[in-house]
Structure 1
Amino acid sequence: MVGNTEQKQLIKTARITGAWYLMMAISGILGFMVFHSQIFVSGNPEQTLTNLIELESTVRIRLLLEFAIVISQALTAIWFYKLFKDSYEWEAWTLGIWGMVNALAIMISAISIASALGVANSDIGAMEDKVLLIQGFQNIISNAWGIGGLFFGLWLFPMGCIVIKSKRMPVWLGRIIVLGGIGYLISTLIHYAGIDFSFNNFLTLPATIGEFWMIGYLLIFGIRPMNE
């Protein structure tokens, strides 16, 4: 009876973890993949400045979505730790800490978006000064996400290892997540090494597959009992 109660509590924890993870995925897709390109134009700070002034409501939605990513990433990390801490404490700590580093990387991006919006609507006289500042903030946003790829990959390692070792979720889910972590690390290193590799974006595809599989499994099944 005690074991049954503990399993029900673990399933509840797993589903809450999945809900936060889903929120992170949705806010990330909307914020970075949908709204971001409407405002921040790569290599064109002048157009970006115009967008920041003329599309202020869109910029604020983009900023709020960045907040949502930071909050949901942090809470996902905390709930993953809670889910796994009793059986795999060291891996759970690593997963939680590296997940928090992800949240900090995106927080740098959020600070830069807010700063860019403030500069665009400030009383700074010379447009040239505004353009230079916007270009700087634009680079910080891009690199917060780009270099953040190191820890976007690293936090997948303990997650995948726990799944493989515990067998309380499909073993292949864990393997794909680990492969996704490797892909993120290699993709980030290739990009910042200045290597022109046309298939670089495909290196993170296993991570996308693994993370959405993980979200679905957490929400639908939760976590298996220890003896399965």
Structure 2
Amino acid sequence: MKNQRKMSNKKKARIAGLLYLVVVLTGIFSLAYVPSQLIVWDNALVTFNNIKGAEFLFRLGMVSSLICYTFFLFLPFALYRLLKSVQATYAKLMVVLAVVSVPISFINIQHKYAVLSIINGYNNAKVYTGTQLQDQVLFHLNQYDNGNLIVQIFWGLWLFPFGYLVFKSGIIPKFLGVLLMLGCFSYLINFLGFSLGSNYSDLRISSFIQLPATLGEIGTCLWLLIMGAKEKQSVTPLEALNN
């Protein structure tokens, strides 16, 4: 029975790790790689031509985003199965804060569909000039970026109960839990920085501030996928009284 419980625990961890891996890979591709190849934030003409010339890559980024959001919907439930015995209230809070972000993300992707409509909508040429079309594309990309900024509130908040559960679990290394909890504040600091300061991006510190979240999430993902989760040792009645 003990070996059966251990295998079950490892299976739960690896399912969660696999879901997390899909979220991480599709997130990096859609949120980092594709924009770096296509978007020049201070040049609407270049951005318009880049997307027009590499429309498939742009569409692939959109599909990648939708896959990311879909798997992120299932991820907290898989983690809940693994960690609910640690502290049920925190486990439920983790699920709620993660799931709330998903519909916001799905609605936000409409801005990218709007970009495709502008680029391929030949009737627009009768209403807008070329410069106006280019500006419209950059406007929707900026709105999509602003939407992601709002979602970052929940991308950060869910990491705190998640990190607390990891730290307390005894089945995943504690330092990963610490990084995840710090990652919560990383997201929130960047959200406030971009929201309150018009020149925050010029400081070039957002990636550094984001580092605990990046290391915590990727580290936890790989640990769950490769190592699984240790079987939590049972506490004897005498140990329970001493504690």
Question: How many angstroms apart in 2 are the aligned matches of 1:147 and 1:50?
Answer: 28
Structure 2: runs of 5 or more not aligned: 235-243
Question: How many angstroms apart in 1 are the aligned matches of 2:14 and 2:106?
Answer: 25
Query: What aligned pairs does 1:34-49 form with structure 2 within 5 A after superposition?
Result: 34-49=33-48
CA shift for structure 1 position 61:
1.1
Question: How many angstroms apart in 2 are the aligned matches of 1:46 and 1:71?
Answer: 33
Question: How many angstroms apart in 2 are the aligned matches of 1:6 and 1:168?
Answer: 13
User: Does the aligned pair in 2 maintain the 1:160–1:178 contact within 8 Å?
Assistant: yes
Question: 2:106 maps to what in 1?
Answer: 107
Question: How many angstroms apart in 2 are the aligned matches of 1:11 and 1:32?
Answer: 30
CA shift for structure 1 position 45:
2.8
CA shift for structure 1 position 13:
1.3
> What do the CA deviations read for 1:6-45 (whole angstroms, capped 9, x no partner)?
3322211110110010111111111221112222321333
Query: What aligned pairs does 1:193-208 form with structure 2 within 5 A after superposition?
Result: 193-194=196-197, 196=200, 197-208=203-214
CA shift for structure 1 position 187:
1.8
CA shift for structure 1 position 76:
1.3
| Equivalent AA in structure 2 for residue 33 of structure 1 | A
State the TM-score, normalizing by the size of structure 2: 0.85
Question: How many angstroms apart in 2 are the aligned matches of 1:16 and 1:111?
Answer: 30
Question: How many angstroms apart in 1 are the aligned matches of 2:149 and 2:42?
Answer: 16
User: Does the aligned pair in 2 maintain the 1:73–1:102 contact within 8 Å?
Assistant: no
2:167 is aligned with 1:164? yes
Query: What aligned pairs does 1:153-192 form with structure 2 within 5 A after superposition?
Result: 153-192=156-195
Question: 1:148 maps to what in 2?
Answer: 151
Question: 1:226 maps to what in 2?
Answer: 232
State the TM-score, normalizing by the size of structure 1: 0.90
Question: How many angstroms apart in 2 are the aligned matches of 1:182 and 1:111?
Answer: 28
2:144 is aligned with 1:138? no
Question: How many angstroms apart in 2 are the aligned matches of 1:142 and 1:124?
Answer: 24
User: Does the aligned pair in 2 maintain the 1:69–1:106 contact within 8 Å?
Assistant: no
Q: Secondary structure at the match of 1:225?
A: coil
Two-structure CA RMSD over aligned residues (Å):
2.0
User: Does the aligned pair in 1 maintain the 2:21–2:221 contact within 8 Å?
Assistant: yes
CA shift for structure 1 position 128:
4.6
Question: 1:98 maps to what in 2?
Answer: 97
> Once the two structures are aligned, what percentage of the paired residues are identical?
27
Alignment length (residue pairs) = 227
Query: What aligned pairs does 1:122-137 form with structure 2 within 5 A after superposition?
Result: 122=121, 123-125=123-125, 126=128, 127-137=130-140
Q: Secondary structure at the match of 1:124?
A: helix
Question: How many angstroms apart in 1 are the aligned matches of 2:41 and 2:74?
Answer: 31
2:59 is aligned with 1:54? no
Structure number with greater Rg is 2
CA shift for structure 1 position 132:
4.2
Q: Secondary structure at the match of 2:124?
A: coil
Could you list the runs of 4 or more consecutive aligned residues of structure 1 that deviate by over 3 angstroms after TM superposition? 195-198
Q: Secondary structure at the match of 1:52?
A: helix
